[in-house]
């Protein structure tokens, strides 16, 4: 370790400004690996010890992408056994899951040419069924433990979003909905709390999912944020007893569908004015005023605004500190992109279990990353979380124009 310390000291003196932090990161991580592998071997380099378990056997190169740039690491190899640094484990589960799904499709004879070529490029030819079974079993245990874990405490906010995947079923290729649920607890932390796969988005489908979440301990939900999926609103009222917030981003797309494309920019700018108001009363008044202005030119848009006003503005009844996170499902946006990126590699999943394996592994990794980050929402406002309607006088709205 003394030699490593000298190497770091030299680096601090010689490194140029441009690559300084990246070079320091590479050196520190290399030092950590060397110390870690010494503990696994039971002896230092060239040290004679009765506790020695094995010997070094060179290195293998590994690139690690970070915010500082790509770090070029040299992972120590052992003559007996193997060594893999813990800080590289974070992305290992989803990589294994992706390989497992491709292998499963390969062996089942249901892979598309794209998956077939990818499998060959990854060197997956000649794979035994027992190898695939063991790999899938190991991943499934971790993923299922994560997806079925008990949920403790109160979870005031719940975000739901659906993405669609292709699955082979009985010789046919069908589209299935993958529902991902994210919730924020009273400590201001967000977690991925559920994944559900189903053939449709009817009320029964949503009710079943929400009941499972409640069965695992999800409670204290005051607001559910989602797109206007069929059957969801009724399921939320029946199962959760919570307020529903219609995703403002999806609402805007729906609203602009009633406007000619050439006027989309102008209409969007007018609609956004309602969302820039400082409080609930001003927001509702501005919303109604804009709807009245739209009535003559785009009556269908005005009618749509009237029918969806309270759903798209539900978030205004909650704490001002939280509203930027509550008006849409944006907290799921990046997560959904990663899910689609991994799913697109597979193309057509051989079965529901392979969907849960791959998507569940991606969600497990993302959830671990979230737990190391700062709080997602202000915890002080969580401590006094109450819908405004319970602590403030009721808001009265101006009558609609005749």
Domain final position from 84, 110, 137: 84
Token pair recorded at residue 280: 């609930």
Contact 158, 177 (CB under 8 A): no
Could you tell me if residue 308 is inside a domain? yes
Could you tell me if residue 221 is inside a domain? no
pTM: 0.69
Altogether, the residues listed in the chain come to a count of: 402
pLDDT of residue 93: 62
- Higher-confidence residue: 166 or 397? 166
Could you tell me if residue 135 is inside a domain? no
Strand, coil or helix: what is 65? strand
Mean pLDDT of all residues in the chain? Answer: 80
Q: How far is CA 251 from the centre of its chain?
A: 21
Contact 127, 107 (CB under 8 A): yes
- Higher-confidence residue: 351 or 106? 351
pLDDT in tens, 352-394: 888 898 888 889 888 988 988 888 888 877 876 644 434 443 3
Expressed in percent and rounded to 5, the helix, strand and coil fractions of the chain are 55, 15, 30
Q: Rounded CA gap, 386 and 395, in Å?
A: 16
CA dihedral 368, 180, 103, 119 (to 10 degrees): -90
Q: Which of 31-40, 42-51, 213-222 has the highest mean pLDDT?
A: 213-222
Q: Rounded CA gap, 364 and 178, in Å?
A: 15
Q: If we measure between CA atoms, which residue out of 299, 308, 166 comes closest to residue 227?
A: 308
- The H or E element containing residue 96 is helix 92-108
- Higher-confidence residue: 230 or 218? 218
pLDDT of residue 104: 55
- Higher-confidence residue: 402 or 142? 142
pLDDT bucket at 185, cuts 50 / 70 / 90: very high
- Domain encompassing residue 54: 2-84
Say whether pLDDT at 218 is over 50: yes
Could you tell me if residue 395 is inside a domain? yes
Domain final position from 29, 49, 84: 84
Give the pairing type, strands 223-226 and 157-169.
Answer: parallel
Number of domains observed in the structure of the chain = 2
Q: Rounded CA gap, 208 and 218, in Å?
A: 14
State mean pLDDT over 228-249: 89
Q: Which stretches of 192-346 are DSSP H helices?
A: 203-215, 232-235, 248-256, 264-274, 280-297, 299-312, 323-326, 333-346
- Higher-confidence residue: 125 or 374? 374
pLDDT bucket at 338, cuts 50 / 70 / 90: confident
Could you tell me if residue 136 is inside a domain? no
State mean pLDDT over 152-169: 91
Could you tell me if residue 315 is inside a domain? yes
Could you tell me if residue 338 is inside a domain? no
pLDDT of residue 133: 64
Could you tell me if residue 55 is inside a domain? yes
Domain final position from 58, 84, 110: 84
State mean pLDDT over 264-276: 93
């Amino acid at each position: 370790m003394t030699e490593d310390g000298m190497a770091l000291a030299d680096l601090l003196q010689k490194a140029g400004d441009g690559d300084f932090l990246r070079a320091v990161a590479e050196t520190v991580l290399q030092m950590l690996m060397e110390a870690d592998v010494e503990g696994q071997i039971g002896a230092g380099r060239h040290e004679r010890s009765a506790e020695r378990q094995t010997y070094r056997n060179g290195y293998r190169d590994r690139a690690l992408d970070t915010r500082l740039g790509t770090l070029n690491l040299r992972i120590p190899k052992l003559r007996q056994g193997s060594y893999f640094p813990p800080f590289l484990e974070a992305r290992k589960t989803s990589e294994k899951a992706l390989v497992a799904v491709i292998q499963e499709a390969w062996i089942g004879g249901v892979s598309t040419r794209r998956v077939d070529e990818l499998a060959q490029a990854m060197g997956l030819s000649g794979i035994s069924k027992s190898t695939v079974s063991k790999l899938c079993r190991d991943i499934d245990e971790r993923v299922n433990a994560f997806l079925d874990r008990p949920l403790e405490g109160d979870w005031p906010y719940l975000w739901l979003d659906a993405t669609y995947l292709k699955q082979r079923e009985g010789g046919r290729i069908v589209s299935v909905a993958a529902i991902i649920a994210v919730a924020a607890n009273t400590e201001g932390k967000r977690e991925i709390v559920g994944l559900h796969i189903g053939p449709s988005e009817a009320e029964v489908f949503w009710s079943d999912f929400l009941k499972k979440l409640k069965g695992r301990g999800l409670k204290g939900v005051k607001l559910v944020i989602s797109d206007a999926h069929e059957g969801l609103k009724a399921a939320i009222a029946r199962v959760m007893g919570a307020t529903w917030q219609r995703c403002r981003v999806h609402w805007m797309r729906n609203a602009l569908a009633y406007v000619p494309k050439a006027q989309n920019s102008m209409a969007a700018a007018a609609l956004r004015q309602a969302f820039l108001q400082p409080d609930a009363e001003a927001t509702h008044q501005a919303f109604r005023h804009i709807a009245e202005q739209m009535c003559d030119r785009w009556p269908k848009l005005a009618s749509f605004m009237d029918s969806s006003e309270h759903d798209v503005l539900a978030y205004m009844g909650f704490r001002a500190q939280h509203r930027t996170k509550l008006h849409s499902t944006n907290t799921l946006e990046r997560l959904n992109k990663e899910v689609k990126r991994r799913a697109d590699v597979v193309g057509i999943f051989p079965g529901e279990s392979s969907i849960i394996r791959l998507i569940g592994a991606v969600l497990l990794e993302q959830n671990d990353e979230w737990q190391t980050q700062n709080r997602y929402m202000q915890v002080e406002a969580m401590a006094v979380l109450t819908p405004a309607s319970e602590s403030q006088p009721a808001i009265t709205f101006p009558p609609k124009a005749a």
